[in-house]
Amino acid sequence: MLDIANFDHIGIRISNRTASVAFYERLGFELIADGGYDKGHPLVMLHPSGININLLGPADAKAGKNVLMDEAMKYPGITHLALKVGDAEATEAFVKEQGIAITGRREFRGTKTIFIRDPDRNVLELVGPGPSVAELIADAVHAS
């Protein structure tokens, strides 16, 4: 087994630096370094929770379209980033206050989840308090 301690960062390909940085800043991320965005290197953004995202670009094909989630053909790749939040209701209120569209929602065994999209339609799942999604899915599968 590989000795993994935790996630270090996730890379997200973007097409519009200004729009994407502004979106993630609204969620509480801070731009701490530009590793050379114009040459395909990351914009490093850090959240006070310790979550680190790298915005990579510039995308030069299908800007503003999510080929992993919005097209009929299903390509391999990371489809979304799930972030655990401390308060589902406060999170939803914040998202609405920020003018960010909620593109989906689920509630299972008391765990409330909403889905939002960044300017390039990359999906973020905001998971409220309660059991982890892994536990919820495993319990449902094993109960059948």
Total domains present in the chain: 2
Each residue's pLDDT tens digit, 9-50: 999 999 999 999 999 999 999 999 999 998 889 999 999 999
Are residues 112 and 100 located together in one domain of the fold?
Answer: yes
What long-range pairs does 74-81 form, CB within 8 A, spacing at least 24?
78/10, 79/123, 80/115, 80/122, 80/123, 80/124, 80/125, 81/10, 81/12, 81/53, 81/122, 81/123, 81/124, 81/125
Least confident of 28-42, 92-106, 124-138: 124-138
Are residues 123 and 95 located together in one domain of the fold?
Answer: yes
